[in-house]
Structure formats: structure tokens, C-alpha cells
Amino acid sequence: MTQFSEFTDLCIQIESIPGSLEMTDVFAEFLKNIDDDELAVSCYMVMGEIFPAWTGKKLGLGPNLLFSALSKAAGISLDQIKALLRETGDIGETTYRALCADKKSQSTFSSFFDTEDGGDGSCSAGGRLSIREVYDRLKEIADASGKGAQSQKIKSLQYLFSESSPIESKYISRIALEELRIGIGEGIVRDSIAKAFDVPVAQVEFAFMVTNDLGEVAAASKKGGVDALSHQHIQVNRPVKMMLAQVTNSIEGAFAELNEAAIEWKFDGARLQIHKNGNDISLFTRRLENVTNSMPDVVKAVLEAVTAENAVLDGEAVAIDESGKPRPFQDILRRFRRKYDVENTSRDIPISVKLFDLLYVDGVSYIEKPLIERRKKLSEIIKPGANGISVDDLEITNDPEVAAEIYRQAIAAGHEGIMIKNPNSPYSPGKRGKNWLKKKPVMDTLDLVVIGGEWGSGKRKNKIGSYVLACYDNVKNVYLEIGRVGTGLSDELLDALTEQFSELIEVENGVTLKIKPEVVFEIAFEEIQKSPNYPAGYALRFPRLISVREDKTIEEIDTLEKIERMYQGQKE
């Protein structure tokens, strides 16, 4: 049994390491020395998670619940906690200071923190909890529901704070709000598993792609090595990350990369992964959220159209009007989010599903097979002429002019452009690369996460009037501010966004807000410029909000690397 204090020591050590290779070595050594039933949970928690993404489960803790638990555990007021948070800007450091303050009289509260532990070593002593006990208690919090659930969550958090040392509680609170952010992501965990159990990184990567669960992969690596990893496979009703496309600036440039290409429309809709297990149908969004209950018309269409007993399919859900033209993207989100009056909404916003790929059929995984073979099998298992669902048109050509004509047709039909794919490429879950390219008619927008904001003034008083945007540096594993957006937002939209962000405000300092990185904005702009004023080193000229990308997670926001590439493309 490994004490949580050892996990805390690991986090402290990793936070002080600048390079990913050394982080990998440290976490690999940790994995070698913990019990089997601690492997999976340690992999989740070191990334600031409790559940693997495919489960769709969330801890469901907001800052206010954590503040209440911390107030009770530390014996200080909510106002004092919020004052600390304004000072530190970090929920972990706030938790540490609040619990250390409990060891001193309240009269010394504001001046207590001259040293790391208050001068007596009491704030860094180990607690009594194991890794597994912390995980199980957090899982209980996630499972709490119904009457009295909030009270139970507060009591469980209070218990964790009282049974752990302040330094341990610092990391418990960060995990509870999914804000651990010590610099470890999927790549480092993957490499650590490979190093710890002497298995090839490629084998770990493949097992992760098909299971979408690094904890499970770690357990398999330790138990059976390469042989166990080779037996990992796609499972129906367990969603996997969807393959992604890279932007191309020109059709000619794409053909220079691919020579021969498979061309299809890029639909103006939202990705939908369909799982069929007999008569049991499950539908998942790009964020792996289960939207089956919101889409009864799609479930019916799948049952009628798909002849295979078991299958995992990839496609696009498109909201259509009476003439068959695509409706606004927000209408798709309305369908995904709908929990009540679903039948009427289905009639008001009909959905057409365009299938374009296949991952699994009747016991056979197709992700390693070439695109042309996957498409052939896809066409074989879909009844032609089915209502509401079809296989989209695909044309293989080596002529850029043919692709350009398909592009013009897609734009005229109201869609976004075209996809240009390598016909011999495998399906790579969660990967973005040159095997799939997308071409749109205007400079590509950026998907950026909101990390802050400012309260408005005048008629915008009590509304968040502007938002701080960040890209992701996947080398340093940090969010980097790249600009702000605020102009052109209607009062109605500002009201809706203010309500949406109200539970995500972490620090409020006057009019300035620090916001938990969770919501993704699609931002259009005229130009990327070099700028020393933002940590990213770049700024966006005339940024404007296109949409709130509720179909995207913060793991999918655009990277500093992409922005640098787009900047170079502008110059060229």
C-alpha cells in the first residue's frame, strides 16, 4: 500500500523538473514501485483526472463546494478563503495556507506564511491516507447523487482534508477541481509506462489508441508485457478518440504531399461516433459525451440502415432545413444537449448522418487497414437509400482540378469545404497529421481556451465583457495567453456566457477574473502578428468569436506549434 504522501512527493518533484525526459524517468520509477491496484489510479491522478475519458464520468465538484469543505476543515470563513485565493491565484496553494493557518491562532492569519510550513514543520508532515483511499473517496464524491448529495460531497472532502497533511491537501484540492497541472500529459504517461515495464512505446501507444485508457494499459503492461498489449482491442460501447485533420492552405499543396488523394465534402456539422451492439445503439460526440438519449431519430436510422451485428462507425451529424441545406452549428448542439421534449426537438431540427469511416465490424478491428478498404466495408454494411443516414461520396483522384471542383460543389451546398485523405492511410484515433487534410475557403479559425476575463462597465455591468484566450504549448505543457475577445458580442450572448462561466471563476481581483480552462472558443481573425505583449509571443489581429465549441475539449485546442506554422504560412 502506497501512502498518498509519496504521490505528493512525486508531484512536488515533477513540478521542479523542466524537461519531459526527466519527468518520464521519475514517473516510470514511481510506477515500478507501487501495487498493482494503484497503477491505474496513479496514471489518472498524475494527469489531474479521476476517470478515463471513455467513461464520460466527471467528479462534478465546483469551486464553491470545495471552498465550503475547506472552510469547515480549516475553521476559517469563506471570505478568508476567497481572500487567500485572490492572493495566491491557485486553489492548491490556497488550501495549503488555509489548513496551515488552522494550526495557528486566527490573529496571526495574515502574517503566518513567512516560511514554507509556518516555521514548525507541521504543515509538511505526512497524513494517514493511501493513494487508493484518496481515489476511492473522490470516486464516492462523483457517485453521490440525489437529495443530500452536495452535503455528502462536502463531508467527503472535509474528511480528506482532515486526514491528510496540508501539503497533501494542496494536491487533493487540485485533483478535485481537475487543476493538478504539474506538466504531465498523456505523452509522458505513455512513455513512463513503456520505460517502467520495458515494452515498446509503439505498443503502448497502440493499446492506448484502442482502449482510450492509460490506466488499463499500465496494468496490462505490468501483468503481461508486449503480449498483453497486443491483445488490447476496440470494444463496442467504449468510445475512442476520433482521428483528426490538419489544415492545408491549398489543394495543390495537399496533392504535393499525397500525390493521389481521396476527396470528400467537409460537412458543416458535428462528429458522431456510432456504436452498434445488436439492437443496443450508443452515440458519442467528439468529446466522447454520450448523446444517445438526445438522438432517438439517429438511433432508429442506425437500426434500420446498419446490417452488421456489431460495429463502430465514424461520421458527421448535420442539422438540415426543409431544402436539405445545413442549419447553423448551434442547432446541432441544441440536439446534443437536449434532455427533455426530445421528440419535438427531433422534428424541429432533423438530423442527417453522413458516414465516412469504420473502425470495427463483427469482431474485426479495421483501424490498421487502409482507408479504401475501410470505405469498401462501410458501404457493404449500410443499406442504400436508408432514411437519415448514408455513406458520403468519396472520389479518388490524382488531379487537383477534380478536387477543386468537388470543393466548389461543397461550398455551393453550404458546407465548409473538402477533406483530402491519403487513401492508403490507417485510422489513427486521436491523431492529427497529414493523412487527413482539410481545406476551407478562408483562413482557418483557431480553437482557443478561455483562461480569464474582465467584468464590463456601463450597460455591461455585472456581465463578463471580455475574455482572455490561450493556446497550448505542448512542449512546456502550459496554456499561453494569445489575446482577448470582447467586441461584437450581443447582450444576449454576454448574458449566456456570463452564466456559463459563473461556476468557473477561480480568482476575482477587482474587475479581473481568472477562469478555469474548460470552455473552448472558435476565434476568427484577420492576421497573426508577432507580439511581445502576450506569453505566446503572438497576437491575433481583429479577433472575433465565431462559436462556443462545446464539442471540443481543452485537450483539442490549437497549439503554439500550429500558430507558429500558420504565421510562417502567412509570410510565405
More confident residue, 459 or 418: 418
Confidence band, pLDDT 50/70/90 cuts, at residue 521: very high
63 and 146 both lie in a single domain: yes
Q: What share of the chain is helix, strand, coil (3-state, %, to 5)?
A: 45, 20, 35
Confidence band, pLDDT 50/70/90 cuts, at residue 571: low
Q: What is the CATH number of the domain that holds 508?
A: 2.40.50.140
Which residue, among 410, 414, 446, has the nearest Cα to 527 in the 3D structure? 446
The radius of gyration of the chain's CA atoms, rounded to the nearest angstrom, is 25
424 and 300 both lie in a single domain: yes
- At 260 the three-state DSSP class reads coil
Which residue, among 336, 289, 285, 217, has the nearest Cα to 58 in the 3D structure? 289
Q: Is the pLDDT of residue 105 over 50?
A: no
**Residue 113: what pLDDT?**
42
For residue 10, being part of any structural domain is answered with no
- Please give the Cα distance from 455 to 466 (Å, whole number): 7
Retrieve residue 246's grid coordinates. 490538419
267 and 331 both lie in a single domain: yes
384 and 504 both lie in a single domain: no
Continuous segment of H or E residues that includes residue 544 = strand 544-548
122 and 166 both lie in a single domain: yes
431 and 468 both lie in a single domain: no
Q: 71-75, 424-428, 539-543: which range is least confident on average? A: 539-543
φ, ψ at 198 (rounded to 5°)? 55, 55
121 and 260 both lie in a single domain: no
Confidence band, pLDDT 50/70/90 cuts, at residue 317: very high
For residue 216, being part of any structural domain is answered with no
**Residue 119: what pLDDT?**
46
Whether residue 461 lies in the annotated active site: no
| CA quadruple 110, 116, 117, 123: dihedral, nearest 10 | 110
Q: Which of 124, 159, 176 is a domain's end point?
A: 176
**Residue 71: what pLDDT?**
94
- Please give the Cα distance from 331 to 328 (Å, whole number): 6
Calculate mean pLDDT across residues 264-276. Answer: 94
Task: Give the domain range for residue 509.
Answer: 446-571
For residue 199, being part of any structural domain is answered with no
Q: What is the CATH number of the domain that holds 62?
A: 1.10.3260.10
Retrieve residue 424's grid coordinates. 492508403
- Taking the whole predicted model, whether its pTM rises above 0.85 is answered as no
Q: What is the 3-state secondary structure (H, E, C) of 341-399?
A: CHHHHHHHCCEEEEEEEEEEECCEECCCCCHHHHHHHHHHCECCCCCCEEECCCEEECC
For residue 376, being part of any structural domain is answered with yes
The number of distinct structural domains making up the chain is 3
Q: Is the pLDDT of residue 117 over 60?
A: no
- Please give the Cα distance from 536 to 501 (Å, whole number): 23
**Residue 69: what pLDDT?**
95
Q: Which of 407, 439, 471 is a domain's end point?
A: 439
Which residue, among 277, 290, 299, has the nearest Cα to 362 in the 3D structure? 277
425 and 459 both lie in a single domain: no
282 and 400 both lie in a single domain: yes
Which member of 170, 195, 241, 266 is catalytic? Answer: 266
**Residue 203: what pLDDT?**
95
373 and 428 both lie in a single domain: yes
Could you tell me the strand order of the sheet in which 261-266 lies? 244-247, 432-439, 417-421, 261-266, 395-397
Tally the residues of the chain. 572
Retrieve residue 541's grid coordinates. 489581429
φ, ψ at 316 (rounded to 5°)? -130, 130
Which residue, among 501, 505, 499, 536, has the nearest Cα to 519 in the 3D structure? 501
CA angle, 268 as apex, 262 and 272 as ends, to 5°? 80
Q: Cβ distance 43 to 49 under 8 Å?
A: no
**Residue 408: what pLDDT?**
94
Retrieve residue 61's grid coordinates. 465538484
- At 467 the three-state DSSP class reads strand
Which amino acid is present at 189?
Answer: V
Q: Is the pLDDT of residue 108 over 50?
A: no
For residue 535, being part of any structural domain is answered with yes
Q: What is the CATH number of the domain that holds 411?
A: 3.30.470.30
**Residue 112: what pLDDT?**
40
How far from the centroid of its chain's Cα atoms is residue 59's Cα? Answer: 15
**Residue 329: what pLDDT?**
76
409 and 454 both lie in a single domain: no
Q: Which of 439, 470, 485 is a domain's end point?
A: 439
317 and 408 both lie in a single domain: yes
Q: Is the pLDDT of residue 111 over 90?
A: no
For residue 86, being part of any structural domain is answered with yes
For residue 303, being part of any structural domain is answered with yes
**Residue 509: what pLDDT?**
84
Helices (H), strands (E): how many in the chain?
20, 20
For residue 362, being part of any structural domain is answered with yes
182-236 confidence digits (pLDDT tens): 989 999 999 999 999 999 999 999 999 999 999 999 999 999 999 999 999 999 9
CB atoms within 10 A of CB 327: 18
